[in-house]
Amino acid sequence: MDNLDKNIPVEELIQSAMQARRKAHAPYSGYYVGAAVLTMDNRIYTGCNIENASFGATVCAERTAIFKAVSEGRGKCRALAVTGSPKGEEITQYAFPCGVCRQVISEFAPEPEKFVVIVARSKDDYKLFSLEELLPASFGQDQIVH
Ligand code: THU
C-alpha cells in the first residue's frame, strides 16, 4: 500500500469507468459494471460487463477494458478503476474485481505492489488497493519455466 504509484489520475479514471458502466449489457443479472484501465503510456481504455444468454460467455468490465488496451498494443498497465451496482444511476456499493479479473489484471501489471486498483462509488468516494493486496502470492509468468 505504501508503495502505491502516486501519479494516478484517480478522478479521471473513476469518471471514465462510470461512463463505461452506462454501456453495460447486463439483462440477466441487472448488475452494471464499468472499468477504466490506465496503461504505462498513460492512455485510458474503458470497458463494461457484457453478458450472454449462454451465461458462461459473459465477460466482466475489467477484462473488457484490459483486452481493449492489449489488443491496441498497450499490454502494460498501471492502474484500474471499477464501479458497479445494480442498474440505475446510484452506485450503492463498492464493487471489487472478481478473482478471474484479478488474475487477468496481474498478467498485464508489471509492478503489482505499485499497481493501483480503485474501487469507487463516486469520484470522491473510493478505496485504493495495490494489486499485491488483492492478489497476494499470485501465479504468473515466472512460474512457467520454458
Ligand atoms: N462483473 C464484472 O463486470 N466484474 C467483476 O469483477 C464482477 C462481476 C459482472 C459480471 C456479470 O455481468 C455481473 O457483474 C454479475 O456477476
> What is the DSSP secondary-structure string of 100-138?
HHHHHHHHT-S-TTT-EEEEEEETTEEEEEEHHHHSTT-
Q: Is the pLDDT of residue 1 over 90?
A: no
Domains in the chain, start-ordered, CATH in brackets? 10-134 (3.40.140.10)
Distance CA 110, CA 50 (A): 27
CA of 146 to the centre of ligand 1 (A): 34
- The pLDDT assigned to 125 comes to 98
The 10s digit of each residue's pLDDT in 27-40 is 999 999 999 999 99
- Ligand 1 center–CA 38 separation, angstroms: 20
State the pLDDT confidence band at 9, using cuts at 50, 70 and 90: very high
> Cell for 89?
444511476
| 16 CA from centroid of ligand 1 (Å) | 17
The dihedral of CA 64, 70, 73, 78: what is its sign?
positive
* Candidate of 60, 62, 100, 104 to mutate for ligand 1, largest count of ligand atoms within 8 Å of Cβ: 60
Provide the pLDDT for residue 107: 98
Coil/strand/helix, residue 69: helix
Which residue has the least CA distance to atom 8 on ligand 1? 60
Res. 145 pLDDT band, cuts 50 70 90:
confident
Instruction: Indicate if the pLDDT at residue 2 is higher than 80.
Output: no
pLDDT of residue 70: 98
pLDDT in tens, 117-139: 999 999 999 999 999 999 999 99
Give Cβ neighbours of residue 73 (< 8 Å, ≥ 6 apart).
none
Q: Report pLDDT digits (tens) over 64-114.
A: 999 999 999 999 999 999 999 999 989 999 999 999 999 999 999 999 999
Give the type of residue at 15: Q
- Would you state the pLDDT for residue 119? 98
Ligand 1: which of 31, 66, 101 to mutate, judged by most atoms within 8 Å of the beta carbon? Answer: 31
pLDDT digit string (tens) for 37-60? 999 999 999 999 999 999 999 999
Three-class secondary structure of residue 57 per DSSP: helix
Q: Which of 24, 11, 23, 16 is nearest to 44 (CA)?
A: 16
Residue 49 β-bridge partners: none
